[in-house]
Amino acid sequence: MPLLTRRWLIGALLVAGILSSAAWLHLHQPAPANSPTARGEQPAASIGVVATITPPAASTVHAHAAPAPDVERVLRSGSLRGSQPDGLLAWTGDGRLIANRELRRLLDYFLSSIGELDADAIRTLLVTQLGAQYSAAQVTQVAAVFDRYRDYQLALMNESPIADLSAQLSRLHELRLRYLGTEIADAFFRDDENYAAYTLAQRDLKTDPQLTAEQRVASLAELDKTLPESLRDRRALAQTPMLIDSQEAQFDVAHADANTRHDTRAAQWGEPAAQRLDALDAQRADWQSRLSAYQNWRDAINANTALSETQRRAAIDDLLVRSFHDTERVRIQSLEQEGLLPTPGG
């Protein structure tokens, strides 16, 4: 879910498509001076999933936080209503919090309610929810990371964008180290920074006028080898929709039949994916068939001079209701208004 993107998008987002942006946080307290617990080298002894979020009891809300009714209102009718927190909490064998991207996702989930609750109330909500499942010592560790992450987001919001994207990435890295420390900054943002650096290097190679076509291909291949496997998987996943679109265009040009499409897809994407794409083909064919039928009947109604304008309009409205469900009718009407669905004489 998109989080913390309400006020200011940093320039590097346009390059990598993965860097975080800042939300406006109304803060009243500085972050604790003590460093958060390090990630540790031990494997996680346990991983807990926070239960479905519920309004805190009035007795658990601290005096300095926003009134409990505000929290309850947001949870019952606001953006967090009926939701479950993203992310996981992981701990070492001796009870130390492990900082990782799942922890960041959890913090982002709670911070997504900024604007509905102030930062103090969000912190209280986080502590209250975790307190129902974790010990006071564990909750204190999470709250300490929350404080640092919150202050990093505020600092990021106050930063002016830097035109040079390499300099922007360096500045982001400096801020993360300053507010989060090396351990947490690395756990939260290492993959993002590595992929952003890769994307910038890829852009430079593609636009370097001194490289021949052969040198460019070779250099890009070498650059690809520097990506960790997890980021290679991410890049491949990001490219999948474009590859599927390209494959669809080739099918259309070749007038490929359904069996050919299925067999080719199964060989490239696997049988389950091929079946899902087959189903999508069927849905598209059904939509196109109904759309064509609607246009033909609509044109016939409009051409019927025995009907008055009011009768034609009523007949077309009835045709819409019989041909499409509610959201489809809105789509058809929007297409007609934008001139994207041909009308008689159009």
Every domain of the chain and the residues it spans: 12-163, 274-346
Percent of the chain with pLDDT over 90: 25
- In this prediction, residue 72 has a pLDDT band, given cuts at 50, 70 and 90, of low
- Conformation bin of residue 37: beta by default, left when phi > 0, alpha when psi is -120 to 50: beta
pLDDT of residue 230 exceeding 80, the answer is: no
pLDDT of residue 302 exceeding 80, the answer is: yes
Instruction: Report the mean per-residue pLDDT for the chain.
Output: 76
Do residues 87 and 118 lie in contact, with contact meaning Cβ atoms separated by under 8 Å? no
Instruction: Give the three-state DSSP class for 320.
Output: helix
Q: How far is CA 95 from the centre of its chain?
A: 31
- In this prediction, residue 24 has a pLDDT band, given cuts at 50, 70 and 90, of very low
Answer positive or negative: Cα dihedral of 162, 165, 167, 170: positive
pLDDT of residue 200 exceeding 50, the answer is: yes
In 3D space, the residue among 89, 187, 94, 181 whose CA is nearest the CA of residue 142 turns out to be 89
Do residues 153 and 111 lie in contact, with contact meaning Cβ atoms separated by under 8 Å? yes
pLDDT of residue 327 exceeding 90, the answer is: no
pLDDT of residue 212 exceeding 50, the answer is: yes
DSSP 255: T
pLDDT of residue 191 exceeding 50, the answer is: yes
Percent of the chain with pLDDT over 70: 73
Which region among 7-21, 40-54, 248-262, 327-341 has the lowest average model confidence (pLDDT)?
7-21
Q: How far is CA 134 from the centre of its chain?
A: 28
Give Cα separations from 328 to 262, 278, 291, 325, 344 (angstroms). Answer: 28, 21, 10, 5, 21
Instruction: Give the three-state DSSP class for 91.
Output: strand
Element of type H or E holding 90:
strand 89-91
